[in-house]
Structure formats: C-alpha cells, structure tokens
Structure 1
Amino acid sequence: MLKILGKAESINVAKVLWACDEMGIEFERVDWGMPYRDPKAAEYLALNPNATVPVIDDDGFVLWESNSIIRYLANRQASDLYPSAPASRAMIDQWIDWQAADLNPAFRYAFGALVRKFPGFTDEGQIEDSRLRWTQKMQIAGAQLEKTGAFIAGPTFTLADIPIGLSVLRWQRTPIDKPDFPALDAYLERLGERRWFNERVASDLP
C-alpha cells in the first residue's frame, strides 16, 4: 500500500491526500512534521534531504515534492484528472507550477505570521508586502476562474484544482484585509460539492 509521510494540517500533504481520494488510491498516512515527528531526524532525511513533507513510499519507490507526487500518482492511475493531450496537460501544469513558484511565495510570510505564528514573523512591513503580493496573485486566479466559469484549467475539475483549490481555501481562512473576488467564492462553492474536499481537506487545514 502507498505510504504517505506527513501531517494532515500541511497544505502540501493535503494535496496528496486529496489526490489519492479523488483517484481511489488506498494509502497509509504516517505523521511526520512538527509537532509530531521531526523531519530533520536522520530516518526522514534519508528519504528527503530537504526535511519537508510530504514524502511517499510506493512499494519502495520514494518521492518528495507534493506537485511531483500528485503528477506521479495521476500518471500511475492513468487518471482523467491529468489528460495526456499536450495542450490540456500543459494548461494543468501551468497552474500547478504557478501555485508553487508564484502563489506560494507570495502568501508565505503573511500566513506564517498570522496563522502559523512562526517565531520571528512579526515584521508588519513584510506582512503587508506579503498581503499585497498575495492579493495580486489571487486576482490572477480570480480572473482565470471568471474566464472558465468553472475550474482553474477549464470547464472540468482537473489535477490543477487540487493545489489551487487548497490555496484559495487558505486565502479565505487567513485573517487579512482582502477585496471581494466573487469568482473565488463561487469556485470554493463548486469544490465544496466534491465529497473529498469536505471530508478530507476542508476539515483538516488551518
């Protein structure tokens, strides 16, 4: 059985859990990440030298980086969530990569300060800068959702909606001043119609 190492409260672990649920993949999850088990322990570093969660062990095949993991699992299952047509797949990859490379760095400081309350994340200037950059990125996501009228990469739910959907949920739940983006609200309502979004993801993430 697929083994997932990581805590359920992590957005990156949640990507993998949600993807498995959507694709009907059975798994065993083992808590790693503070305050459970330290990912800097030698046992964990042997699997992932970055000391980040998640890691999967698929019958001896070890993989880290959440977006790489969900792509691997979708390919493994030949899932319709990740179609093989080049243009369709490229659009999905574009939004998955955007979440990691552009959106994630924008919200990191504000979320770390206001929700995680990390030590040292107290600089009001950096919090405001993060809020502004986060808002600009969410405006981009909102414009795309207005264009599709449904999901981030088009009219149907795809693998890209897993990282993007989790990020929109994080935006909604973080106590910062934010403009109204009706397309994002409607998007979360659509995701809320999916069983696993409610039963697995929405209940676990801060």
Structure 2
Amino acid sequence: MSHHTLTVWGRKTSSNVQALMWCIGELGLPYERYDVGHRFGGNDTPEFLAMNPNGTVPVLQDGLNQPIWETGAILRYLAGRYGDAPFWPSDPAVRAPADQWAEWAKINVTLAFTGPVFWRVVRTAPSRRDPVAIAAALEKLHAILAIAEAQLARHAFLAGGDFTLADIQFGHVLYRYFDIDIPRPSWPNVERYYHQLTQRQAFREHVMVSYDELRAHD
C-alpha cells in the first residue's frame, strides 16, 4: 500500500515512543520524528495540545489524516493499515491472541515496570530512593513476568509461534528491565526471547537507546 511519510512527535528516550518507532521499523515505513517532551519540551504548546489535549507523546499523523494519540491505538492503527498476518491478522478470531497479549502487556507489564520500578530506580536520585517500595514493586512485576515466562516456555513469541504486535507491546520494556540495577529472578524463557529480540534491527535501533538523560542525580 502506498502511503505518505508518517510524522511522529516524541523524544526517542520515551518508552512509548520506542514501542511506536520499533513498530514503524518492523513495518518498514518512512517517517519523520520530532523530539518533543522531557528536556525538549514542546508538549504544552497550543499547537501540540490541539493535536493531543493530554500533552503526552507519542502523537502520529499519517498523511492528511487526523493525528492519533495513545500508543496502543496508534500501534493497532499502523498494524491494521500496513501490517498483515501473522503480525496482525485481518480475521478477528485469528488476531485475538495477538490483541489479547498486546493488551495484557500494556496494562500489566508496562504499568508495573515504568512508574513503580524504572522511575523509582533510575529517575529518582539515589539518596531519595525507597528500597522498600522498590522491593514491593518488583514482587508485583515478577508475578506478572512469571505469566510471560510460562507462555514463552510453550511458544517462541508472546502470542504464539510468530512475531506479532504483542511482542512490541511486551518486548519494548525488556531492554530497560534487563539493563537497570535491580535483582532479577532467573527467567530462562524470557531471557531467550529477549536475546531473540536483540537480533532484530528495528529493536536495536529504536529500543536499545541510552536513557542516561533520564537519570536523576543527587
């Protein structure tokens, strides 16, 4: 399908932007990305808020279409418009497992990791860290990751035998999870899976990105 260059607003160190850019990379779509948010600012201007009243990134515009916000919605839009089976099957019954695991990852893994763990470990100055809160958050996160570990014992990818949109929603947090300084249980299947993701060019380019600019210092 021929299409215009996609326009993305959002800094490359945003984990949600990373999920979107990884998807764009997997689909081989041309894009322009503008650094917005965090140290770049620009997400509280009248122009940006007219596109996304939440002031969050990413925002995507495809040609003359209305801008889209909310990462899950953007990913499903791109997968539905430019992807095909097995990445995002058109048959709802065949697509359901990929959709189910994508949603699971978004509302469980991402929510249990980004705020409760990543912000407390990386985006909080060392003297202000709360080890008790971090330990409790890791216990919750690891109960969720145990579900992925069991699923990946049976399947090569999160939703089955093929790489799907579910892997983008789940896999984009794993680079930071395995990189930050936290105690981790042994996850042989998640680790095998993560190693497999690091072989993908779009993952290396868009997800394995330094987050040093987010690090808080005393």
- The TM-score with structure 2 as length reference comes to 0.87
Structure 1 position 18 matched with structure 2 position 22: yes
- Ranges in structure 2 where 5+ consecutive residues have no aligned partner: 213-218
Change (3 A) 1:131 1:38: farther
Change (3 A) 1:118 1:103: farther
Q: What secondary structure is seen at the aligned counterpart in 2 of 1:170?
A: helix
Cα displacement (A) at 1:21? 1.0
The one-letter amino acid paired with 2:200 is: R
Match of 1:160 among 151, 166, 191: 166
The 5-angstrom pairing of residues 2-41 of structure 1 reads 2-41=6-45
Deviates more, 1:127-136 or 1:196-205: 196-205
Paired position in structure 1 for 2:82:
77
The structure 1 segments of at least 4 consecutive aligned residues displaced by more than 6 Å after TM superposition are: 118-121
Q: What secondary structure is seen at the aligned counterpart in 1 of 2:189?
A: helix
For residues 98-155 of structure 1, give each alpha carbon's deviation from its aligned partner in whole angstroms, at most 9, with x where no partner exists.
122122221222210112227997333322221111111111111111111x110111
CA RMSD of aligned residues (A): 2.0
| 1:112–1:118 Cα contact (<8 Å) kept | no
Cα displacement (A) at 1:34? 0.9
- The TM-score with structure 1 as length reference comes to 0.91
**What is the rounded CA distance, in whole Å, between the counterparts of 2:133 and 2:50 in structure 1?**
34
| 2:105–2:166 Cα contact (<8 Å) kept | no
**What is the rounded CA distance, in whole Å, between the counterparts of 2:73 and 2:128 in structure 1?**
29
Structure 1 position 174 matched with structure 2 position 194: no
Change (3 A) 1:121 1:144: farther
| 2:80–2:90 Cα contact (<8 Å) kept | no
- Ranges in structure 1 where 5+ consecutive residues have no aligned partner: none
